[in-house]
Amino acid sequence: MPDAVQPSTQADSVAALPWWHGASIYQIYPRSFLDSNGDGIGDLKGITQRLDHVAALNVDAIWLSPFFTSPMQDFGYDVSDYRGVDPIFGTLDDFDALVARAHALGLRIIIDQVWSHTSDQHAWFGESRQNRRNDKADWYVWADPKPDGTPPSNWQSVFGGPAWTWDARRQQYYLHNFLTSQPDLNLHNPAVQEAILGVARFWLERGVDGFRIDAINFAMHDPQLRDNPPASGNHKRTRPFDFQNRIHNMSHPDIPLFLERVAGVMNLYPDRFTVAEVGGDNAIAEMHEFTAGNRRLNSAYGFNFLYAEQLDARTVADALAEWPDTPGTGWPSWAFSNHDAPRAASRWHGGHDHDDYARLIMLLLVALRGNIFLYYGEELGLTQAEIGFDDLQDPEAIANWPLTLGRDGARTPMPWVAAAPGAGFSTGKPWLPLGADHAARAVDVQRDDPGSMLHWTQMLMALRRSQPALRHGNVEVAVAQGNTLVLCRSWAGQRLVCAFNLGAEPCAVDLPACTILAQHGGATPSLLPAYSGLIARCA
C-alpha cells in the first residue's frame, strides 16, 4: 500500500504517493451552500461562485453530496437519473463549469455515487415492475410472498417498517432498505453491475476526480432471503431496524468482488480516488475488506466519531488502532461531522464554551492519520440548529419524531453575509431555517477577524498540508488515559508530537524537546490546561 513506501527523503516520499493520501476534503451539501437564483435551494452555480472560499481553506478536494435528477424524497439519495443534474441544482453545463473552476483553483472534485438503490421514479425500475419477463425484470430485488401473503423475510427498513413493499403489477414484493421509494438494485446481476460501471465512466469522462460511495454494504443481499436474527445487547433502539442483527439484508461476501470491478474501471483514469461509507455492527471488518490490498477501494470511513455522543482519549486511540500501518491494510478516512450526524462541537462540548471546543477538535482532526473530511460550516464553528417539527424536511426525523431528531439541524444554510437577508445564502426563503446564531458566524464577519475560527481552520489545514508527518505519517498512541491523548506522528525522518486534553481538568505531560507549530488553550510541553492541545516538531 502507498503508506508503506518510505523513500530516503521527505520530498521523494511525498512524490511517491497519490494526491489523495492524507488529503483534506471539504464536504458540500449542495442544497445548503449558496442559492444563485433565489428559489431558496442551493445550486451548482452557487457552489462555483464560492469556490474561492473553499480554496482559501487549504483543502485538497471537495466532496459534493448528490445533485442528480431525483424526486427528492431523500434529498438526492433517491436517484432517478444517474447521468443527469436535477433542475433545482442546474444543468450538466453548470456541473462542467464547476469542475473546470475547481481544477483551475487546484481543487479536486469527488461526487457521491448511490449504487445500492435508486428512486422508484428511475426508468430502470419503471420497466422492471411492469412484469416478470421484461429486459430489466431482474434488475431489482423481487420476491414472492410467503404462503400467507406476508413479506418474504423479516428484514426491516432503516427509516422504519418492513423493508418490503407489495407491487400489484408483478404480484411480488420489492426490497428497499431505506424508503419505500428507494428500491434496491440487484447487484448480483452482471447486467446491473455493467450499468453501474457505465455510470462511473460517464462521470469520470466529465473530469471528476473520485467517488464517495454511499451505503455500499447495502449493495447486495442474501439471495436465500433468510430472516435476520434478533439483536443482542442493550444498545439504543428507536426503530424496528435496531432490533435485528442485520446479517442477511446487507454485507454480502460478494460485495468486495464487485468493488474489484469498480477498481478496474478507476485504474483506467489516472489519479482518481474512491472512498466508501460503511456503517453497521461489522463496519471495521467490512472497511478492511473493501480496501484490502490494491485491488479494491482506496479508503473507507465509518461512524466512530459521527455517532459518538462523547469524545475522550480512548475513543480516538481505539479508532486509530483499527487501522494499523501494516502491509495490505487500507487507508482510513475520518469525519467528525457530516450531513447524517449532528455537528460535532455541539454534540461533544459538554457545557464547555462551544467555540473554544470547536477549535480544539479542529486541531485534533488535522492530527489524525488518514484522510480527513471537513463538513461545510465547520470552518465557521456552526452549531447544530434546532429545527421545529413544522420545519422538518428529513423523512427519518418525521417518521421517528421525537426519538430520532434527524439530520436537518446539520443541513442548514451556509451563512455568508451577516447583515444580508438569509445571511447571504438566498434572496428567497431558505429551504431550511438558519440556525439562530449562525448569521453572527457568517463568512464576512470571520474573514475580517484574524482570531476567528475561519482563520484558525485555514492555518491548521495549511499546517497539515506542509507537514508530511501529519499528512502521510505513521501514528503511535503514546498516551490515551481519561481525557489525555498524546500522538506521535512520523514520516521519513520527521517526528511530530500532538497532545490534547479533551476534558475540564488540567493534566501534566512530559513531552520531548520540541518546537510548537500550533497551540490552543495555553498548552505547553509540560502542562495541558482544560480543553487544550498542541502540535509540535520534535528536536
Q: What amino acid positions are annotated as catalytic residues?
A: 214, 277
CA dihedral 356, 360, 365, 366 (to 10 degrees): 110
Q: Decide the pairing of beta strands 507-508 and 514-520.
A: unpaired
Contacts of 67 (CB under 8 A, 6+ apart): 30, 44, 76, 85, 86, 89, 90, 95, 111
Q: Is the dihedral of CA 289, 257, 339, 106 positive or negative?
A: positive
Each residue of 35-69: b (16+ CB within 10 Å) or e? bbeeebbbbbbbbbbbbebbbbbbbbbbbbbbbbb
- Separation CA 258–CA 273 (nearest Å): 16
The SS3 call for residue 242 is: helix
Q: How many residues does the chain have?
A: 539
Q: Give the 3-state secondary structure percentages of the chain, helix then strand then coil, rounded to 5.
A: 30, 20, 50
Q: Decide the pairing of beta strands 273-277 and 210-213.
A: parallel
Locus of grid cell 440548529? 385
- Separation CA 407–CA 409 (nearest Å): 6
Beta bridge partners of 344: none
Q: Decide the pairing of beta strands 108-113 and 210-213.
A: parallel
